Amino acid sequence: MFEEIKVKTALNRIKESSRITLPFHWDLNIYRGCEHGCNYCYAMYSHRYLEKVEKDSFLATDPPGIEKCAFFQKICVKTNIAEALEKQLGAKNWKKEVINIGGICDSYQPAEAEYGLMRQVLPLMIKYRNPVIISTKSDLILRDLDLLKELAELTYVNVAVTVTTMDKKLSTLLEPLASPPENRFSILRAFKGTATVTGLHMMPILPFLTDSPQNLEQILSLAAKCEVDYALSGVLYLRGDTRKHFLDFLELNFPERVDPYRKLYAKRGADRTYKAELYGILNSLMEKYHLSGDCMKPMQAKLSYPKQLKLTDFSKK
Ligand code: SF4
């Protein structure tokens, strides 16, 4: 269900408390809500004010695993986003700061195939030579390869791809409308050798579902083959709406995992011992495949970014 809306401003300044942990201060979300329907989605809170979608608006053909959640089903399309964005990019006091496109939605979700808003947004970024970061789970981004390559010749462009599992069946269950994992690697291959900085986001790692050393190694070895500039990983964080939704999802699809999860997640973050063991495995894999975990270095190189802006915790993304 799409609802077309008009916005007054396009860019959202990130809360000060989050700014010290993120390598950018501005978000641009061209949609509200996200059809990818990831059952661990951290951004569900952003739709809390919307009412639950009416039951009869769901089709019998809806993919399994999608909870009847407004965030996944009611997509607000900001049809005047380009107009609002140009006002901000063209303002005298705008300092060409890095913009994170898609902080609480995927800019290349299925709606984008219909609305094509990114093809209005990217020419503006080119016009104003504005640095951007885009992370996605959709190979629809390849439609805009020409614009992204052009922008990367002018300024810093970071394309990050999120992959949680190489198991296609599990991915369909976890992330119903995102591209299959192999297609996501085709994005990284397409940007290889261009001026674009590429990254792999292996997050969230889901205990007892995607945390096997084999899965982690498969993903990181493929990222290394694609010559990504960095790889980041983070364990699932469970709080608020996400916690409830994800535990309901487990109950439905992996009931035997519910108790182990409740034990591991007595708090919002996973148990410390579990995390220490997992990060031990991850560190040795990063070393084995000569992967860097530093996403700031390429940004600093291209933008002479202030040194005090350090990335310390990206695991909630
Ligand atoms: S792609 Fe990102 S924003 Fe969209 S549903 Fe998945 S986790 Fe949420």
Judge whether 311 lies within some domain.
no
**Position 63 pLDDT exceeds 60:** no
pLDDT of residue 47: 64
User: For residue 307, how far is its CA from the centre of ligand 1 (angstroms)?
Assistant: 30
Q: Give the CA distances from residue 152 to residues 106, 108, 140, 146, 287, in Å, rounded to whole numbers and listed in that order.
A: 20, 19, 18, 10, 28
pLDDT of residue 257: 98
Nearest to 29 by CA among 45, 13, 16, 12: 12
Q: Which residue among 36, 42, 249 is best mutated to probe the pocket of ligand 1, counting the most ligand atoms within 8 A of its Cβ? A: 36
Per-residue pLDDT band for 17 (boundaries 50, 70, 90) equals low
Which spans in 14-154 are helix H? 16-19, 70-73, 81-89, 110-115, 118-127, 145-154
Q: Which residue among 71, 108, 137, 164 is best mutated to probe the pocket of ligand 1, counting the most ligand atoms within 8 A of its Cβ? A: 137
**Position 249 pLDDT exceeds 60:** yes
> In the chain, what percentage of residues exceed pLDDT 70?
87
Q: Which residues form the domain of 291?
A: 2-303
Overall number of domains in the chain: 1
Per-residue pLDDT band for 25 (boundaries 50, 70, 90) equals very high
Judge whether 312 lies within some domain.
no
**Position 55 pLDDT exceeds 60:** no
Q: Give mean pLDDT, residues 199-210.
A: 98
Judge whether 308 lies within some domain.
no
Instruction: Report the alpha-carbon angle 178-76-156, nearest 5.
Output: 60
Judge whether 315 lies within some domain.
no
**Position 96 pLDDT exceeds 50:** yes
**Position 67 pLDDT exceeds 60:** no
pLDDT of residue 304: 78
Q: Give mean pLDDT, residues 229-236.
A: 97
pLDDT of residue 115: 98
By alpha-carbon position, which residue is closest to atom 3 of ligand 1?
Answer: 105
pLDDT per residue over 264-303, tens digit each? Answer: 999 999 999 999 999 999 999 999 999 999 999 999 988 8
* DSSP secondary structure, 65-88, as one string: T--S-HHHH-EEEETTHHHHHHHH
pLDDT of residue 306: 53
pLDDT of residue 94: 97
User: For residue 248, how far is its CA from the centre of ligand 1 (angstroms)?
Assistant: 17
**Position 32 pLDDT exceeds 60:** yes
pLDDT of residue 73: 86
Per-residue pLDDT band for 54 (boundaries 50, 70, 90) equals very low
User: For residue 161, how far is its CA from the centre of ligand 1 (angstroms)?
Assistant: 12
Look up the pTM and report it. Answer: 0.89
Between 149 and 316, where is the model more confident?
149
Element holding 160 (H helix, E strand): strand 157-162
By alpha-carbon position, which residue is closest to atom 7 of ligand 1?
Answer: 41
Q: Which residue among 69, 106, 139 is best mutated to probe the pocket of ligand 1, counting the most ligand atoms within 8 A of its Cβ? A: 106
* DSSP secondary structure, 176-187, as one string: TTSPPHHHHHHH
Between 72 and 133, where is the model more confident?
133
Judge whether 313 lies within some domain.
no
User: For residue 160, how far is its CA from the centre of ligand 1 (angstroms)?
Assistant: 14
CATH number, domain of 223, equals 3.20.20.70
Q: Which residue among 29, 41, 100 is best mutated to probe the pocket of ligand 1, counting the most ligand atoms within 8 A of its Cβ? A: 41
pLDDT per residue over 122-155, tens digit each? Answer: 999 999 999 999 999 999 999 999 999 999 999 9
Judge whether 317 lies within some domain.
no
Judge whether 33 lies within some domain.
yes
> In the chain, what percentage of residues exceed pLDDT 90?
80
Least-confidence region, from 70-79, 110-119, 139-148: 70-79
**Position 181 pLDDT exceeds 90:** yes
Lining ligand 1 with CB less than 6 A are 34, 36-38, 41, 43, 105-106, 137
User: For residue 226, how far is its CA from the centre of ligand 1 (angstroms)?
Assistant: 23
Judge whether 310 lies within some domain.
no
